[in-house]
Structure 1
């Protein structure tokens, strides 16, 4: 029955908030625009289009809210006003019943709650679209947080994703910009991220990796996973005690250095991206706290590891070179890197792309973050990307989203923070370590175990290679000789046929001459 009523409900919500008119206007055809005006008659649709779209997604439920959140990061696809409005979407989901939560934990862990926990708080401390969190205490005294996946989420998600795929197909077929915006690829991207979030073991593994990476940096805390109690639907981790980073007055009253906190946030971001290629990609204020414990005072506390971004060594090197060229205002090098990477057609003129990038970036140098909007910069860069047919790289979408989160966080903490001057020394040091002697030494150390295994086998491998080479050479030589002999035989045949033909002609001429002389 859900498969029948859900599309009807979505249609009613679309009509209520005038989404039909937005779609018809976007088709850019007079008859569709006229139909949109007729359908909007008698409806109060005075709110801006972005606000109406946000409200519609909130009414459609958590999956559509998640989709709107993800879509807000794709500023290459949306008008600025719509992207800004979708960025306001928040998970406002009531918790599911406590007895249901307890039942799910017992089912997942295969034991009664009393056998696992000394105490389990039935009232959730947080509730979101995918899961909710309870505090508990293990029998050994450790305080933990228990994350429980919402029941029935997989069926709900699969139903709504099927509808989204259908809608994406319609958009691609009937909208003039449909093919360029690639709506089906966007839905597929959302499908991947959402299903990743549904596996809490995967989230726990992400947290464990991030904890190892950040160990020794002394800037951020990541909870330890209690692996004996982690399943795909339940995750138990160390309880973190901190103040939400949005509560600035409490942090200031406790004596936290807010300006240092802002600088540390930039350092953490660039360390995760360029050193590790493994970064927390959901860094909104709800997932960040600050420790007030004397032993870890002023450090960030990271939470919720369902969305993690990754970059390859090639991605990191390319991005770092772009950032450094950008910091040095070497726009020609930025343009050359775009062409070398294949992001723009090889026929693109470097000077034209260089001039376009300079036009966007130059006004934003030497200005504090309060006077910069990375969203606007990215939007203008995406406008240029369409002009020069730049291919949007899927692996960088999460990086763009996280960069916008860092900008928003920095703007709240320290509006006078110079993001560029803070990041430039870090990136220059990182590049030096990558391409200098230290980088060479580090790569040699990483490859040493493989070299150690290969070294004893090297003489045998060289001998085998030479044997194969000699055998191949002998085969090639024998084939060449056989081909040469065949060619020689063919030439001999041709020569002898020619000689016979010439002798036949000479004999015929001689006989004719003798006949003319009366000798025959």
Structure 2
């Protein structure tokens, strides 16, 4: 792996030199010592002829040559037109679905290998020329023998070795950063790279993507907001996915959307509603929402419906994460910065000794400018920079489990800017979050929570009864306890104390729902008390 990593580093260096990316870097306002260091680079001593490529083309082609990890980075950047020059953003947008395809013969061979049958025996028609090509896979149009129009997605060959090499360097850089920088340790770079490693390898398993698509389709069955194509499971394999072909307008094709008189304001608002529905109602959100994966139905332009494809990357949140995010966002909307500061401290995101007043003032300084302003007038780049400075000042820790959510938020912001720049993201999201919080404490939700806890009572009661019966068995008396018996007694007392602590925690959690839901807590408390006080 070390040899492969060194070879990969040399490959990255060759691409940087080939496309003169160091020239683009030196155009930035760099520190003098870094600019001086550039003169020590050997390739800058040689004569250099002008490239017949624009700077945007050079960046796009470099990321494209470096493979899927770099291509996905370019896809993310392409949605941040507030951070990039227009020419570079336009070129990076081509990485969303215009990556050069691989040889169609490889596609046919892989499909037949995976399906265990000839393409002609499975499909009535199969288009060898790809319909679209992206960083991880490419798509071919086809028709099943039963007549359904479908698309066939095929994984690119030879991806895993390249991805492993890139990840090896990312891990090395992350570990080095954690070792030499306290600021980097606060950001948990190794955990972030580990999460990304899992995400990208999951994306190489098309059966996982098929399962994600089926779940997302079920979550929005019959919804006017979002349509997810049907998966044809009989023809899905780890490296081949067959699903319904959809016909829609790419979400960034603003001219065509305008020609059919699409309600752009409603379209933008529904995009926000879809995101918050996925995150808070379902805890199952499409985490790769770059424009190449999002289309708009042509059926009802006055009531536009989104179409989502490529569900290879899906995020989810725990109930605790959902509750924390919702309470923080609502506090933000209400400009209750003290509550925001207190929530951060209570959750452990900042040290417990942090002064609430100081943290509140810092958050107010960062967040106050964003309210009551249209999206086009909000500089999220500046906001993120200010928040980073605040995090560094108060030692706020980045939570790796929210990395996918943060990435998706960036994509949503980029799409919102293109669709309807005057959209007020905050006023659109606030009613949804308040409704979600009310639903959490509705009678129906309380009964559902009570039912879930009551279902655990027989199991807990059985475990408690077995434990009490085992402990109540008469023990032979001895003139004096041995050291082993003393240790056994202490172990039982420690077990009892743990049960009491767990029972108290469960009781505290259940108290906000319903009195009857505290039954398991009282059983744990009783068993723990018995173990502590028994002789």
- Considering the TM-score relative to the shorter chain, is it more than 0.5? yes
1:427–1:227: structure 2 CA closer, same or farther, 3 Å change rule?
A: same
1:36–1:52: structure 2 CA closer, same or farther, 3 Å change rule?
A: farther
**What is the aligned partner in structure 2 of residue 9 from structure 1?**
11
**What is the aligned partner in structure 2 of residue 244 from structure 1?**
250
**What is the aligned partner in structure 2 of residue 502 from structure 1?**
none
2:12–2:66 CA contact under 8 A, matched in 1: no
Distance of 1:422 and 1:221 partners within structure 2:
21
Matched, 1:371 2:377: yes
The TM-score with structure 2 as length reference comes to 0.76
Give 1:62's match in structure 2, choosing from 33, 44, 67. Answer: 67
Structure showing greater Rg: 1
Distance of 1:245 and 1:227 partners within structure 2:
28
Deviation, 1:425, is 1.1
Distance of 1:374 and 1:42 partners within structure 2:
41
The TM-score with structure 1 as length reference comes to 0.78
Alignment of 1:202-241 (within 5 A): 202-241=208-247
1:396–1:170: structure 2 CA closer, same or farther, 3 Å change rule?
A: closer
4-13 or 127-136, larger mean C-alpha shift: 4-13
**What is the aligned partner in structure 2 of residue 513 from structure 1?**
none
Deviation, 1:59, is 5.6
Matched, 1:115 2:121: yes
Alignment of 1:309-348 (within 5 A): 309-348=315-354
Give 2:107's match in structure 1, choosing from 77, 81, 101. Answer: 101
Over residues 313-345 of structure 1, what are the superposed CA-to-partner deviations in whole Å (9 max), with x where a residue is unaligned?
000000000011111111000001100110000
SS at match of 1:298: coil
1:63–1:129 CA contact under 8 A, matched in 2: yes
Matched, 1:402 2:408: yes
Over residues 274-329 of structure 1, what are the superposed CA-to-partner deviations in whole Å (9 max), with x where a residue is unaligned?
11111001112111111123699621100111111110000000000001111111
**What is the aligned partner in structure 1 of residue 204 from structure 2?**
198
Deviation, 1:178, is 5.7
Distance of 1:337 and 1:122 partners within structure 2:
55
176-185 or 371-380, larger mean C-alpha shift: 176-185
Matched, 1:306 2:312: yes
Alignment of 1:95-494 (within 5 A): 95-166=101-172, 168=174, 183-293=189-299, 298-446=304-452, 450=456, 454=458, 458=461, 464=466, 467-468=469-470, 470-471=472-473
2:207–2:236 CA contact under 8 A, matched in 1: yes
Q: Pairwise CA RMSD of aligned residues? A: 3.9
Higher relative contact order (CA 8 A, sep 6+): 2
Structure 1's unaligned 5+ residue stretches are: 484-520
Over residues 332-382 of structure 1, what are the superposed CA-to-partner deviations in whole Å (9 max), with x where a residue is unaligned?
000011001100000000111110111111111111112123343233212
**What is the aligned partner in structure 2 of residue 36 from structure 1?**
38
SS at match of 1:326: helix
Distance of 1:33 and 1:255 partners within structure 2:
51
Over residues 446-500 of structure 1, what are the superposed CA-to-partner deviations in whole Å (9 max), with x where a residue is unaligned?
556556xx28x95x667556545645xx769x789979xxxxxxxxxxxxxxxxx
Distance of 1:133 and 1:214 partners within structure 2:
24
**What is the aligned partner in structure 2 of residue 512 from structure 1?**
none
Aligned length: 466
